[in-house]
Amino acid sequence: MSINRQLAHHTWSEVAGLDKSDGVVILPIGAVEQHGHHLPLLTDTLIVNRMLDAALDALPDDVTAWVLPTLPYGKSNEHTGFPGTISLSAQTLMAVLHDIARSLADAGFRRLAFLNGHGGNSALLEVMAREIRAATGLLCFCLQPALFVDPPFPISDEERRLGFHGGELETSLLLSIAPELVDMEKAVRHYAEFPEMGTPLFFFGPASSAWLSRDWSEDGIFGDATLGTAEKGDALIAVAGQRLADLIQAISTFETTY
């Protein structure tokens, strides 16, 4: 008998009867935003959904985990100025996350994990995880994109450092997940000429700037999309799926000391 981990497929009375002492509810969060001329706006959402599917396939049947419908919009204002980008404000996204968490707590669930598919959501999710913990009592976790874009194959130092949007890795993932939505004839190579000054000042280091993609890339790409292959995407999904499954299993029984 297959396990129905999709929480929204259950009735309210079935949810009421679930044993919630162990287990975690997973909320996938994506984005609708520009990814250059060769990838669809839905790239981050497609990736987070596929990674979650791979993780659930690798998850032992005796691990209790439920999945909420994916939130397809995120905080994407770094990509404003490119038609098609849809961004929630920080205030809106925070309110939505809080309301979802409150509903879960009211239903008796004890653990919530954000599975994030978009780097622009990361800082906000970390803030909200603690807000939710303090306000609702839920044990709240953040699973960030770095968990599933750490490749099991060699990439250049330049790509590892600056290929963070629409480059080799995201292009490879989309070629594996939805090749019909990828136009490799329009793939480009672009590395932004960020001033370094001893630290990646305009990147994600300890000293940073509130960069906008349109300030540094005409096409919206950061990285070498021409290096993407479906085989690389397949390898990423296999490794990341198991990595996420291991984390979900650990989270599902996580307890505090007091």
For position 211, what pLDDT does the model report?
A: 86
Q: 224 pairs with which residues across the strands?
A: 189
Flag whether 2 is in a domain: no
b/e sequence 110-133, b meaning 16+ C-beta within 10 Å: bbbbbbbbbbbbbebbeebbeebb
- Whether residue 31 contacts residue 165, with contact meaning beta carbons closer than 8 Å, is answered with no
Q: What is the pTM of this model?
A: 0.95
Mean pLDDT of 13-42: 98
For position 198, what pLDDT does the model report?
A: 54
Mean pLDDT of 147-161: 92
pLDDT, tens digit (0-9, with 9 covering 90-100), for 9-24 = 999 999 999 999 999 9
Flag whether 200 is in a domain: yes
Q: 74 pairs with which residues across the strands?
A: 87
For position 181, what pLDDT does the model report?
A: 98
Q: What is the mean pLDDT of the chain?
A: 94
Mean pLDDT of 46-68: 97
Q: Is 256 helix (H, G, I), strand (E, B) or coil?
A: coil
Task: Classify burial at 162, counting beta carbons within 10 Å of its beta carbon; exposed 0-12, middle 13-18, buried 19 or more.
Answer: buried
On the question of pLDDT at 83 being above 60, the answer is yes
Mean pLDDT of 244-255: 98
On the question of pLDDT at 197 being above 60, the answer is no
- Whether residue 90 contacts residue 124, with contact meaning beta carbons closer than 8 Å, is answered with yes
Question: Which range marks the domain in which residue 200 is found?
Answer: 7-252
| Cα maximum dimension of the chain | 59
User: What is the DSSP code (8-state) at residue 78?
Assistant: G
On the question of pLDDT at 43 being above 60, the answer is yes
For position 1, what pLDDT does the model report?
A: 39
* 172 token code pair: 């490879």
Flag whether 14 is in a domain: yes
Mean pLDDT of 164-170: 97
The model's confidence at residue 3, banded by pLDDT at 50, 70 and 90, is: confident
Flag whether 258 is in a domain: no
On the question of pLDDT at 2 being above 90, the answer is no
pLDDT, tens digit (0-9, with 9 covering 90-100), for 222-239 = 999 999 999 999 999 999
The model's confidence at residue 7, banded by pLDDT at 50, 70 and 90, is: very high
b/e sequence 139-150, b meaning 16+ C-beta within 10 Å: bbbbbbbebbbe
Around Cβ 192, how many Cβ atoms within 10 Å?
A: 17
On the question of pLDDT at 31 being above 60, the answer is yes
| 108-114-116 Cα angle (round to 5) | 165
E-strand stretches of the chain: 24-29, 65-67, 111-116, 139-143, 189-190, 223-224
Assign residue 141 the CATH number of its domain.
3.40.50.10310
Domain count of the fold of the chain:
1
Whose CA is closest to 78, among 222, 258, 190?
222
Flag whether 257 is in a domain: no
Q: Which residue would you say has higher pLDDT here, 93 or 204?
A: 93
Task: Classify burial at 105, counting beta carbons within 10 Å of its beta carbon; exposed 0-12, middle 13-18, buried 19 or more.
Answer: middle
- Whether residue 166 contacts residue 186, with contact meaning beta carbons closer than 8 Å, is answered with no
For position 126, what pLDDT does the model report?
A: 97
